[in-house]
Amino acid sequence: VLIGALLGGLYYQFRYKSLKQRLANAQADHQSKVALNKKLEGDIPRFAALKTQMTKLRRVIDENQKALPTEAELPAFFDLLNRKVTESGVEVNSSTRLKEEPVEEFVKVPVAIEMTGTFMQIKKFFASLMPKKKHAGDEVATDENVEEKERLVSIENLSLTDPVVKNHEIVMTAKFTMVTYRQAEPT
């Protein structure tokens, strides 16, 4: 009996205690993995929602990029302005591209312009530069309500001078600096 108790004590001390400790460690490890699995399962729907939101945000970023042309896109921008000049009926006497200036992460591209036309033609030209507002019933061209952005243009130092009567209309000269912005090229 004494030898049996001694062998039982040795077994308990060296075998059973270590097995019991390993079992407790394995159960704790299992519980932590179950908790991690539940957390990751909860992240799956959030990931899907964030993925769709990322798609929408990428579309918005792409549309915003259109508002700020790169150096290569500037000629197309000036072609667009020429089309607006033609549509409004004004006549451009001169246009001079001035020195570009860096402004934070962008580059300011000024152009000195002198044009002639009636007050209404000049007004129509400036109105064509304004972004179009979306109305409640308008169909949006891109899905997910992403607005299509137009180029950013501002007018500085506007002066209307030299009113002259031509063909029973008052024609005047508008001198101003048209400013657009472009993205700074990465160095």
Proportion of the chain above pLDDT 70, given as a percent: 83
Q: What is the mean pLDDT of residues 59-71?
A: 71
* Average pLDDT over the chain, rounded to an integer: 83
Token look-up 């179950």 returns 34
Tens digit of each residue's pLDDT (9 = 90 or more) over 12-42: 887 887 788 888 999 999 999 999 999 999 8
Q: What is the mean pLDDT of residues 105-132?
A: 89
Q: CA–CA separation, 70 vs 67, rounded Å?
A: 10
Q: CA–CA separation, 72 vs 157, rounded Å?
A: 27
Q: CA–CA separation, 80 vs 32, rounded Å?
A: 62
Provide the whole-model pTM. 0.57
SS3 138: coil
Structure tokens at 61: 């970023």
Quote the pLDDT of residue 15. Answer: 80
pLDDT confidence band for 123 (50 / 70 / 90): very high
